[in-house]
Structure 1
């Protein structure tokens, strides 16, 4: 298994990453925002993706997004191929994504939103704390990314104050790992 910062040689995986996110959202039936292959391509081209492969086969992916002019970094799109689930791969991908974020944006607050307990546990182990959405970025472009989630109506009805996702935040000023 190889886990690395994604580069142009990984662009061939964009379609399978997008399809894996989509099928996972369908199976889970809970909040997973969809991402197109083109969107994933931009993350890889900008050196903002982490990919896991096993003998050339896609195994997992996560990417970072920058908000508020570098004040915030979000981790999104964490996905592991069904074949590789339950083996600790998500934690390894997320850890490299976390370290990559801290290297690129050492002063940024790092956050994510999720409905998944395994991701919440990983985030907690990395030093994230659960927070209200008001402590996350107020950048409307970030919240538009939730529009493909089946629970988006909840976010809109509450004026972006709450949803089924839990917001989690790592603030480098509060704790250094």
Structure 2
């Protein structure tokens, strides 16, 4: 990859010759990680390119580098950025982050009112999602569109998902809610204006005991990346051991995940 410039852009019909390479790498990567993803055919990837609902990364010499696509669910109330994959030869150089940012921008452009969500087992992807404004959520906050969940059938962990009544699995759910983000921005702006006004008037809110009151800030996901790394290891241990020792339904041992 020396002396090659990487271009991250919206995919077009001219990129369909990369489709087989992309889907083959998706499958190989899933096997190497020991986790599953919803299988996609070259024809499906080509459709996303033709619709302008995919982002591709290539070198200036035409070598494929990475890919990701958009799926809309629940009458376009939810959008998923799916199938993120990077050519092994180009990993570790920030390509995934560039693709995630570009596909996020494309999603907001095409579906400005939709909630954007993702399911992932990768800590690096969760960190990127967090930087974009996603928050970890429960599965119940995702789309209830049956077509989306049917896509999980090709995943090697599908029996875990079904045994948990679709409430949990090895993947972590993350969600970007544009309405919540707008409200958060408005509240932040209002708080900053109030703080400036208070500072200009040299005012401070003090309790009867003389202690200054501070607003308790909610801890952000990206500030607790190590905590989530430990949680992911624990979650994987619990679910996989439950599967091994008691079958898909975990009849021998019961674990409770919150």
Q: Specify if TM > 0.5.
A: yes
Structure 1 distance, partners of 2:51, 2:36, is 26
Structure 1 distance, partners of 2:135, 2:147, is 23
1:37 aligns with 2:42: yes
Equivalent of residue 70 in structure 2, options 41, 60, 64: 64
Partner of 2:130: 124
Q: How far does residue 69 in structure 1 lie from its aligned partner after superposition?
A: 0.9
Q: How far does residue 46 in structure 1 lie from its aligned partner after superposition?
A: 1.3
Equivalent of residue 137 in structure 1, options 125, 143, 148: 143
Partner of 2:14: 9
Partner of 2:111: 105
Partner of 1:52: 57
Structure 2 distance, partners of 1:32, 1:17, is 14
Q: 1:3·1:50 contact (CA, 8 Å) conserved in 2?
A: yes
Partner of 1:115: 121
Structure 1 runs not aligned, ≥5 long = none
1:146 aligns with 2:152: yes
Q: 1:31·1:164 contact (CA, 8 Å) conserved in 2?
A: no
Q: Whose strand proportion is higher, 1 or 2?
A: 1
User: SS at the partner of 2:67?
Assistant: strand
Q: How far does residue 175 in structure 1 lie from its aligned partner after superposition?
A: 1.5
Equivalent of residue 170 in structure 2, options 139, 164, 169: 164
Q: How far does residue 34 in structure 1 lie from its aligned partner after superposition?
A: 2.2
Structure 2 distance, partners of 1:35, 1:120, is 22
Structure 2 runs not aligned, ≥5 long = 1-5, 186-258
How many corresponding residue pairs? 177
Q: Whose helix proportion is higher, 1 or 2?
A: 2
Q: How far does residue 135 in structure 1 lie from its aligned partner after superposition?
A: 0.2
User: SS at the partner of 2:75?
Assistant: helix
Q: How far does residue 33 in structure 1 lie from its aligned partner after superposition?
A: 2.6
Superposition TM-score, scaled by structure 1 size: 0.97
Give the 4+ runs in structure 1 shifted more than 3 A. none
CA root-mean-square deviation: 1.1
Q: How does 1:87-106 map to 2 (within 5 A)?
A: 87-106=93-112
Larger Rg: 2
